[in-house]
Amino acid sequence: MNLERKLSVIPDQERAFIEGTITNIGNELLFVDDINEEAYDLEDLSIELEIHLNGRWKKGTIIDDTILYIDNNIHYLKDGDYVRFRKSLPYALEQLIEELSDEAYLQFVKTLNSLSYSLYDCIYCHNFLSFLESRFIKEGMNVMIFDNEEQLCVVQHFFDRRSENKQDRFEYTQSDGKRLVTTSFHC
């Protein structure tokens, strides 16, 4: 399963979006991030955008600085519009997700979610596996750090790709000292 498919089979992840308001500042429409209260040019936003209209989020595509194409209609962005766009994952994490079997991936995400973390909480990922692409025997460890705004979680991913039977072991350690280990074997 590719990255897009893997991301689509999980429910919406907490903190997956950057939300904010379209604000008119000096006769220019800007996006103001709710969390950091920083202003950004609309051209700096993702091309895929969601807008909150009539109590629901509607997906759209920016086709010009102030024009959003939604369901075969055009919406002109204006002062006060509430919008959001999906955060991007670190490239190393995307590569790691693609390498994982479907079973290992789902187990990893479900465990992460059960600890109140989201894939989008990843602030650091070192994917050693990506450096072993040309090797026949692949074994080692990857490291990821997640921050859910309450505490950190370090995930060590031990992998073994020496035989037909692949193994993935994830060790989760939270900043309060709680630990959890999951293992996945697959052919």
Q: Tens of pLDDT along 56-106? A: 999 999 888 788 899 889 999 999 999 998 888 999 999 999 989 889 999
- Residue ending a domain, among 36, 51, 86, is 86
d(CA 5, CA 83) in angstroms, rounded, equals 24
Domain count across the chain: 2
Residue 148 and residue 77 share a domain: no
Residue 178 and residue 95 share a domain: yes
What single letter denotes the amino acid at residue 88? S
* Distance, first Cα to last Cα, the chain: 15
Tell me if 63 is assigned to some domain: yes
Containing structural domain, residue 160: 91-186
**Residues 16/110, Cβ–Cβ less than 8 Å:** no
**Whether pLDDT at 156 is above 70:** yes
pTM attached to this predicted model: 0.81
pLDDT on residue 22: 92
Tell me if 4 is assigned to some domain: no
Token pair, residue 143, equals 């490291």
